[in-house]
């Protein structure tokens, strides 16, 4: 995405059930363009009450333990819960690039047939790969049936953060990319990526409820975005 529009602000929520997520969203929903519901955090992953309560589009994520999430069950069950979330009203779904290829591709085809926006994601909780490796990951994403991609790494220094943000120069409306870094040096990328073509920026309800390391609170991220837009 190469224009000056800000990317989407996504409130990322984790909790035991839809009622808990509704309570956490009530005071913040108007600040968000999108709400991510982390199915892997839910004891009862029925999101229908949430989808009925709010008009804001829902992104369903069921992150497995092997990608830094909490879902430890079989893949058939994990993907079935994502499919159920689409039927329950989720407009967006997240599936990991590392998902076994035949399962991943079948899920992406089903999501596209259902008219849902499927994004394919990749996370590195230890480091930021070199430019060649990042470029290959992005190319693999674009070769799938996903509508957009998400690449999140861990930055150990400013060079790591800048290298990851450089990927955004290669994205566009035909395949938007969310790219930002965890770790203290990557903190600025959660804001700057939104103004450099990044598709989605993720934020928490409050610091204690963050769903990923370094995630900003939604109010703070929204205030920073508003300040930047007012000055530009």
As annotated, the active-site residues are 123, 150
**What string of DSSP letters covers 54-98?**
--S-EEEE--BGGGTSSB-S-HHHHHHHHHHHHHHT-SEEEEETT
Among 121, 55, 110, residue whose Cα is nearest residue 87: 110
Alpha-carbon span 198 to 187, nearest angstrom: 15
Beta bridge partners of 12: 36
Alpha-carbon span 129 to 173, nearest angstrom: 25
For 170-186, letters b (16+ CB in 10 Å) and e give ebeeebbbbbbbbbebb
The dihedral formed by the CA atoms of 206, 84, 42 and 54, expressed in degrees to the nearest 10: 40
Alpha-carbon span 27 to 142, nearest angstrom: 36
Place of tokens 């995405």: 1
Residue 204 main-chain phi, psi, to 5 deg: -100, 165
Alpha-carbon span 60 to 85, nearest angstrom: 6
Alpha-carbon span 199 to 1, nearest angstrom: 7
């Amino acid at each position: 995405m190469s224009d000056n529009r800000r990317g989407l602000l996504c409130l990322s929520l984790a909790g035991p059930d839809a009622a808990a997520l509704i309570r956490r969203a009530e005071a913040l929903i108007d600040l968000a363009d999108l709400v991510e519901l982390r199915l892997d955090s839910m004891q009862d992953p029925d999101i229908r009450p949430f989808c009925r309560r709010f008009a804001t589009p829902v992104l369903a994520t069921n992150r497995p333990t092997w990608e830094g999430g909490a879902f430890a069950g079989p893949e058939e069950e994990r993907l079935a819960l994502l499919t159920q979330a689409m039927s329950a009203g989720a407009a967006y779904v997240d599936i990991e690039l590392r998902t076994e290829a035949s399962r991943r591709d079948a899920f992406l085809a089903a999501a596209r047939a259902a008219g849902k926006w499927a994004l394919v994601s990749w996370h590195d909780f230890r480091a930021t790969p070199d430019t060649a490796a990042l470029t290959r990951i992005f190319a693999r994403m674009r070769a799938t049936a996903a509508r957009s991609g998400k690449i999140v790494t861990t930055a150990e220094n400013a060079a790591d953060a800048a290298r990851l943000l450089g990927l955004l120069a290669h994205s566009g409306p035909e395949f938007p990319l969310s790219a930002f870094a965890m770790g203290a040096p990557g903190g600025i990328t959660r804001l700057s990526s939104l103004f450099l073509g990044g598709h989605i920026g993720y934020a928490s309800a409050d610091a204690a409820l963050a769903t990923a390391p370094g995630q900003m609170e939604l109010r703070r991220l929204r205030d920073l975005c508003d300040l930047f837009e007012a000055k530009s």
